[in-house]
Amino acid sequence: MHDADEPGRFRTLDLIDAHAGGDVGRVVVGGVELPAGTAAERARMLQRDGDGLRRLLTQKPHGDPSQCVDLLLPPSTPEAHAGLVIMGTMGYPGFSGSNAMCAAAAMVEARLVPLPDPEDDLLLETPAGLTRLTLTARRGRLDSVAYDALPGFAVPGDHVTEVEGWGRVRFRLVYGGVFYAVVNAAEVGLDPARTPVSELARFFDAFLPRAAGEHELVHPEHGVMPPLSLGLLAGTVDLQPEQPRVDLAVYMDGGVICRGPTGTGTTALLVWLHEQGRIAPGATVRAVSPFGQEFTGTLTGTTAVGDRTGVRTRIAGRPYLLARSQIIIDSDDPLVDGHDLPRGPSPAPGTS
């Protein structure tokens, strides 16, 4: 039990864990308070002044590097249902499809939004902008979440870097809501569907620091972006069957091969396929991870992204609830000491 004579020593965070495509999002629904601001401003504030929360919840014993933390906050715009800040070993991505799906499942579970009957929209304010998700219920539970992704695009031209053990590796820089270094798996002798996951991680551990150190990432509308922290290995492309399948592996800085294809990874894959002339608007593919988890991605059209031609995509998947819990943070615990944590309870999303 908490010691009432030591006010301020203990913190309690209210969590709902969910997964979408196998990737776990730990959704913080209470226990954190941040100053008013946009989701982007709050993400920058956490990175600058409160990064201990991210580090604490993505490390054992409070968390795990393979999991992301999704912080629900009141939105800064009245049209949004909630603000969402995403944190992981890679830092503070502007958007993540699987984490948006997990946040949607948690909001339904916590009754912050009603279960759709049978379909309804949910608008999330993320650091990358507003994203509208379509929630569909079936048999009294949330069955699927689909969303129109942020416009994706490829940086013009191939890039090449020298990687120890693999020689010269060719890749493209692709934006799917965050930037990825996309590598054709066949060119480096790997296959996301058959190569052991440990070997996929070994490749990315050697490759990504080389690629990240050589390129500044710039979005034509949003300016300089965070350093490269995500990689994508595009494997077997089978576009012949009725439901075309593409194997891929997504790597997250920190040594993690994601269990799912991820939402932004699926968008980046569609951008890459479109750049190669492999798919046209209207095409739908199943993006399948090394663990057999999948999302469906549809290339819905093209659009301008600043002075570049980008593509629009719609990503769909199914989130599953895992747990509802509380984490107790004891400031006297040496594992907590030194973590710069934001203070106070958070009002429920949708309130101010």
Which pLDDT score, from 0 to 100, does residue 334 have?
Answer: 78
| Same domain assignment for residues 124 and 178 | no
Q: For 292-338, what is each residue's pLDDT tens digit?
A: 999 999 999 999 999 889 999 999 999 999 999 998 888 888 777 66
On whether residue 68 sits in a domain, the answer given is yes
Say if residues 283 and 313 touch (Cβ distance below 8 Å).
Answer: no
| Same domain assignment for residues 98 and 164 | no
Provide the domain limits for residue 208.
153-317
Which pLDDT score, from 0 to 100, does residue 155 have?
Answer: 94
Which pLDDT score, from 0 to 100, does residue 189 have?
Answer: 96
| Same domain assignment for residues 294 and 199 | yes
On whether residue 192 sits in a domain, the answer given is yes
Which pLDDT score, from 0 to 100, does residue 3 have?
Answer: 53
272, containing H or E segment: helix 263-275
Which pLDDT score, from 0 to 100, does residue 347 have?
Answer: 43
On whether residue 335 sits in a domain, the answer given is no
Which pLDDT score, from 0 to 100, does residue 249 have?
Answer: 98
| Same domain assignment for residues 16 and 104 | yes
| Same domain assignment for residues 121 and 184 | no
Strands annotated E in 278-318: 284-288, 294-305, 308-317
DSSP state of 178: S
On whether residue 352 sits in a domain, the answer given is no
On whether residue 350 sits in a domain, the answer given is no
| Closest-CA residue to 15 (of 325, 346, 344) | 325
Mean pLDDT per segment of 10 residues, for the chain of length 352 residues?
A: 62 93 93 91 91 89 89 95 93 91 96 94 93 94 94 94 95 94 97 96 96 88 88 88 89 91 96 93 95 96 92 96 92 74 54 40
For the chain, how many structural domains are there in total?
2
| Same domain assignment for residues 134 and 249 | no
On whether residue 349 sits in a domain, the answer given is no
For 338, phi and psi rounded to 5 degrees? 95, -10
- CATH code, 134: 3.10.310.10
Six-digit token pair at 308?
């570049």
| Same domain assignment for residues 267 and 161 | yes
On whether residue 4 sits in a domain, the answer given is no
Catalytic residues: 96
Six-digit token pair at 184?
């054709």
Say if residues 282 and 294 touch (Cβ distance below 8 Å).
Answer: no
On whether residue 342 sits in a domain, the answer given is no
| Same domain assignment for residues 77 and 103 | yes
| Same domain assignment for residues 236 and 169 | yes
| Same domain assignment for residues 227 and 143 | no
Which pLDDT score, from 0 to 100, does residue 62 have?
Answer: 87
Characterise 192 by phi-psi region: left (phi > 0), alpha (psi -120 to 50), beta (else).
alpha
Task: Give the integer Cα–Cα distance in Å for 315 and 328.
Answer: 35
| Same domain assignment for residues 160 and 101 | no
| Same domain assignment for residues 195 and 82 | no
Query: What is the reported pTM?
Result: 0.88
Biggest CA pair distance of the chain: 68
